[in-house]
Amino acid sequence: GWSAAENLAKIQSEDIPRIEAWAQRTGSCFAAEKTELIHITRKRKEQSQGQLIMNGNVIKPSTTAKLL
């Protein structure tokens, strides 16, 4: 998408359900406290926009992320 809001809408409606279904099929789980959301954009206003919900947990955007 062209904006953080468009990207979040697509991720929430298409990607998250697919990820949750895969996790359920394979017996996997995601630790919400270790899940991070970061917008990579030049538009500073968009860096803190929106949130995602995964397995009932709210994931808010951060300005930094730790990659493991």
pLDDT tens digit sequence for 9-64: 999 999 999 999 999 999 999 888 889 998 888 887 777 889 999 999 999 999 88
Range of the structural domain that residue 42 is part of: 4-59
Whether 67 is in a domain gets the answer no
Q: Would 68 be classed as within a structural domain?
A: no
d(CA 32, CA 7): 20
Q: Where residue 1 falls among pLDDT bands split at 50, 70, 90? A: low
Alpha-helix residue ranges (DSSP H) falling in the chain: 4-10, 16-26
Which has more confidence, 1 or 19? 19
Q: Which string of b and e fits 41-51 if b means at least 16 CB within 10 Å? A: eeeeebeebbe
Provide the domain count of the chain.
Answer: 1
The SS3 assignment for 40 reads coil
